[in-house]
């Protein structure tokens, strides 16, 4: 079950744009030298590789989540088992966070290492049909390898920052040292440009997971209804914007912070109204068949 063709093409174009920013930064700072780019790539890949391998544990710990048995959460287990079997994938580990902020997230390098977490807040406000829509969305993040996608995007974005610092403080001799103005521009504007593209990739993956999750469950309106409740619930009971949670915010089905705490340009999630409208359009299309 693949994601939508348009969003797949859009993701590829955004990766191409992000790669272009990296190459432009390297050219401006090092006059076409590949040495600085290589050093920046190695540093960024190591840092983000560690984040990729530990992202699941970090997010689960930050939310104080614990694994739950089928006796504790029978509906959650029943839904995830059914959807996993339908997708032909292994059953992930299920977690519940005690926080009253309504949300859910999935993480894991692949389906065999997947974790799906729901907060107590989301379990309190959603009915079983809506919860099924949310869990289908989260499973598709795992099946679409979105953790890998976001890790690569983060690595490429980090390269630009590392390149600028390397150029500013560890440039070669006078003839090799980069143009100070170019270095300053890349230092301050490069990460902004890369961050915008990285966030655009995250928003595209949310659309993909909405669409694919709705196809997996066969019930787009269930997810639309859940997102509507989540939008109100998050505004009433947001998470505190701690750094650990900010670094993991792209994992959640809904932006876990108040709108005022997140700059719209750097939001990792598309507007909820647009996501709901897309799902309603899908449901209308299903009824027409």
Q: How do residues 225-261 score in pLDDT, each as one tens digit?
A: 999 999 999 989 988 766 556 667 778 899 888 665 5
Which tens digits make up the pLDDT trace of 20-33?
A: 666 666 666 665 56
What's the rounded Cα separation, in Å, for the pair 179 and 189? 15
pLDDT of residue 2: 47
DSSP E strand boundaries for 21-169 = 66-67, 93-97, 104-107, 115-119
Which segments of the chain have a pLDDT < 70? Answer: 1-12, 14-41, 43-45, 47-49, 51-52, 54-56, 151-191, 193-198, 200, 241-247, 258-267, 286-289
CA distance readout (Å), 27 to 30, 89, 169: 5, 44, 17
Helix 5-30 vs helix 146-170: crossing angle, to nearest 10 = 10
pLDDT of residue 145: 83
With contact defined as beta carbons under 8 Å apart, do 143 and 212 qualify? yes
- The helix/strand/coil state of 67 is strand
Active site residue 138: yes
Q: Which of 138, 206, 211, 231 is catalytic?
A: 138
What's the rounded Cα separation, in Å, for the pair 154 and 259? 23
């Amino acid at each position: 079950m693949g994601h939508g063709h348009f969003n797949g093409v859009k993701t590829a174009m955004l990766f191409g744009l992000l790669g272009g920013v990296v190459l432009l930064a390297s050219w401006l700072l090092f006059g076409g030298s590949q040495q600085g780019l290589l050093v920046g790539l190695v540093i960024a890949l190591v840092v983000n590789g560690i984040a990729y391998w530990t992202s699941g544990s970090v997010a689960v710990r930050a939310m104080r989540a614990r694994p739950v048995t089928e006796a504790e959460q029978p509906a959650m287990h029943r839904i995830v088992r059914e959807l996993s079997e339908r997708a032909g994938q292994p059953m992930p580990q299920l977690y519940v966070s005690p926080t009253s902020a309504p949300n859910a997230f999935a993480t894991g390098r692949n389906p065999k290492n997947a974790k799906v977490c729901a907060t107590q807040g989301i379990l309190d406000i959603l009915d079983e049909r809506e919860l099924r829509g949310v869990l289908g969305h989260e499973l598709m993040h795992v099946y679409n390898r979105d953790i890998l996608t976001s890790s690569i995007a983060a690595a490429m974005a980090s390269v630009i920052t590392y390149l600028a610092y390397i150029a500013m403080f560890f440039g070669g001799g006078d003839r090799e040292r980069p143009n100070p103005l170019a270095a300053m521009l890349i230092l301050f504007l490069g990460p902004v440009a890369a961050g915008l593209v990285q966030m655009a990739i995250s928003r595209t993956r949310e659309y993909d997971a909405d669409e694919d999750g709705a196809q997996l469950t066969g019930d787009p309106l269930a997810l639309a209804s859940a997102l509507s409740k989540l939008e109100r619930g998050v505004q009433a009971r947001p998470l505190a914007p701690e750094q650990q949670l900010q670094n993991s915010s792209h994992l959640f089905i809904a932006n876990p912070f108040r709108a005022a705490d997140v700059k719209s340009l750097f939001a990792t999630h598309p507007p909820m109204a647009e996501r709901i409208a897309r799902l309603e359009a899908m449901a209308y299309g299903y009824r027409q068949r």
